[in-house]
Amino acid sequence: MATLNRTNVTERREVTILAPPSFAPGRVLHDVARLARYADLIYTLSLHRIHVRYKQSFLGLLWAVAQPVCLMAIYTVVFSHVAGMPSEGLPYAIFAYAALLPWIYFSSGLVAATNGIVSNAAFVRKVYFPREILPITYIVAALFDFLIGAIVLAALMWFYGVSVTVTALWALPIMLIAAIFTTGVALVSSATQVWVRDFGIAMPLLLQIWMFASPVVYPLAVVPPAWRGWYVLNPMVGIVENFRRVMLQRQPVDWHSFEISAAIALVLLPLAYMYFKSVDATMADVV
Amino acid sequence: MIDVTVQHIGKKYRIGPEASTEPLGRPRRPWWRRSEEFWAVRDVSFDVRRGEALGIIGANGAGKSTILKLLAGITTPTVGRIVVHGRLAALLEVGAGFHPELTGRENAYLNGSILGMRRREIAAKLPAIVDFAEVSRFLDVPLKYYSSGMYVRLGFSIAAHLDPDILLIDEVLAVGDLSFQRKCLQRIEELKRAGCTIIFISHDLGAVERLCDRAVLMRRGQTAGTGAPAEMIALYQQIIAEAAAEDFTASRERRAAEITYFEFRGSGRDGRTEFRTGEPLMVRMDWAASEDVGDVIFYVYFYTQDNVLCTQLTSEDGPRVDLRQGKGYVEFTCPELTLPPGIYHVDVGVRKREVARGYSLHWLNHCAVLHVLDGTAVRGTFYTPHTWRIVVDDAPTPLEP
């Protein structure tokens, strides 16, 4: 039987106050500090998401690349061979794949995270922990799929003879902004999903529209200049286009679109977090 | 030193309307009037001192679990506030957050981190957790292959090794076999001796009395009293008995035959409601018939707190009873009470033997309470009256105890 090590009784204890929910923006720092103490749970749960997904499947990790590779094949046939879409001098397959990678990170992470709280209802009702951890772990797990997909990108680049230059390092800040933006949207959608399930139902349709409003299957250059001012307000434009630029075209980021994406992501995240925490308080009563 | 202060907390829920029976049926009320308010807990205040064990008792729906949810931070109060000093661990359900596909070890990490442990801590305590749960051989087996006993043992063991400053436990000991229940109680006592503050919710009043220093009695979302566990348990029984008696007198209307009085008696002539397992028990029921009703059966049902029918006394097997206009009484005699310690709700009634329309003449639902105390040693769900003797071979005569 274990022995108990309870040292000095005069130890300093943290004080928790549980009170009715109120809108207090100052509490955000407090919430973030609390979240930081649960870093181990984020790690364990993210690992668990990845683990559970591939544990009993025969193809295992191959599933992580199945979606981008299949979409790449379909789009190559439809847009390149049938419709004759330009691809800025690159083989269309790799042109599409390099854009699909960050896009699928965003869309699959968002779909999983939106249902993140509802599908863990038993947890939410029975244990306390900062609930934002649930959507966050799905986004971390999506990052794992992204990394597996990136290996395939490297293989494709080798196959098509596209060389990598130092500009590829820009992919890191681009993906950081992508992660921040995805988290921001997921915090809003997962919390709202608890009250109205419409969000989850609308999500696949919304994402389909959103994808065609982003330069995934076509280059930014084909968008008429008159529309472009509005077009780049979509934060995914700056992310997808720039990722492809720095990976395949050996060019530095396009600052205009990247700044817009970064600004929207960085403003959205704290606002989304405040919204999430304000509904977090009564989530267990509803879910 | 106070570890937990609960100040005038209240929790209001909205109850939605009954769903429309047609799949696409139109809601009966406009959306803004579609829910009603319900206070699960109202104006509850109490303190828990450091190192103290506080029991929370009360009937189902009295608000006990809501209080625990509020203390655990799972949901927030509508009014009032709670101040908690120190690390609090809540065990509302054994194995909440277990995943069947993962192994015992992986689940220990998962569940431990959900309860707020760090991976390092879990790694350090894993041997003790596994040892206590008696699952060391199955540590790397997926949880879906565990027996329910192993599942429960692992869940309790993780929570019991958290080393919290304050531990909340809700009815979790109701699961698992007797020896494990005892082991859990031992562990809780150990934690308490080590200075851990404990808040304990249970229907097992015996455990509350043994373990707790103080108890809070909840009734319809409010505190009905705070004090020594024995006093609160007595008050609880009194409240149940009074409510039952109210029902008894309130349900008077004209019937062909009815029960007019009812009491439990011991070997003497005294009416009482507390008995020990193994003690003789007599039940007296007074009846009155305003007309001839023919062949009838008198019965007494005993239910647990969770509304499970345990046993009954009945005149069904006896000779035919032709009840004529008049009055009298029926007496049931049990040489030995076989119910284990606990609180039982009692139904009494009289019905016609022939099951047909209007066969129930008078039925009093939960009209009394029987409190059974520790008596003859009993393990299991009921006591079996028995005698025993020991025989020594080659001895001149058998030894009789």
Q: Which percentage of chain B shows pLDDT scores above 90?
A: 17
Mutate to test the interface with A, among B114, B117, B118, B167 (most CBs of A within 10 A): B114
Does the pLDDT value for residue B332 go beyond 50? yes
The mean pLDDT value for B261-287 works out to 87
Cβ under 8 Å to B: A residues 213-272: none
Answer whether B119 sits within 8 Å of A40, measured CB to CB: yes
> What digits encode the pLDDT tens for the residues A259-284?
999 999 999 999 999 999 888 888 88
Q: Which residues on chain B are in Cβ contact (under 8 Å) with A285?
A: 13, 75
Does the pLDDT value for residue B172 go beyond 70? no
> What digits encode the pLDDT tens for the residues A231-247?
999 999 999 999 999 99
Answer whether A17 sits within 8 Å of B82, measured CB to CB: yes
Predicted confidence at residue B52, as pLDDT, reads 92
The mean pLDDT value for B283-292 works out to 90
* B144 close contact with A: CB closer than 8 A: no
Predicted confidence at residue A3, as pLDDT, reads 41
Q: Which residues on chain A are in Cβ contact (under 8 Å) with B90?
A: 127-128
Of all helices (H) and strands (E), which one includes residue B280? none
Single-letter amino acid, residue B20: S
* A5 close contact with B: CB closer than 8 A: yes
Give the residue from B12, B166, B82 showing the smallest Cα distance to A18.
Answer: B82
Q: Which residues on chain A are in Cβ contact (under 8 Å) with B110?
A: 44-45, 48
Does the pLDDT value for residue B26 go beyond 70? no
Determine how β-strand B2-15 pairs with β-strand B36-49: antiparallel
A·B CB contacts under 8 A: 125
Give the residue from B55, B57, B374, B42 showing the smallest Cα distance to B235.
Answer: B57
Predicted confidence at residue A184, as pLDDT, reads 97
- Sole residue written with tokens 């590829």: A168
What is the rounded CA–CA span in Å between residue B161 and residue A3?
Answer: 10
Answer whether B191 sits within 8 Å of A4, measured CB to CB: yes
Reported as a pLDDT band with limits 50, 70 and 90, residue B395 is low
Nearest CA in chain A to B112: A41
The mean pLDDT value for B69-98 works out to 85
Cβ under 8 Å to B: A residues 99-138: 122-129
Predicted confidence at residue B242, as pLDDT, reads 76
* A54 close contact with B: CB closer than 8 A: no
Q: How far is B388 from chain A (nearest CA, A)?
A: 37
Indicate yes or no: pTM above 0.80: no
**Residues contacting residue A56 through CB under 8 Å, at least 6 positions apart:** B101
| ipTM for this model | 0.77
SS3 readout for B56-103: EECCCCCCHHHHHHHHHCCCCCCEEEEEEECCEEEECCCCCCCCCCCE
Q: Which residues on chain B are in Cβ contact (under 8 Å) with A125?
A: 74
Mutate to test the interface with B, among A14, A22, A48, A128 (most CBs of B within 10 A): A128
Residue B286: C-alpha distances to residues B30, B289, B330 (Å): 53, 10, 6
Predicted confidence at residue B97, as pLDDT, reads 72
Predicted confidence at residue A264, as pLDDT, reads 97
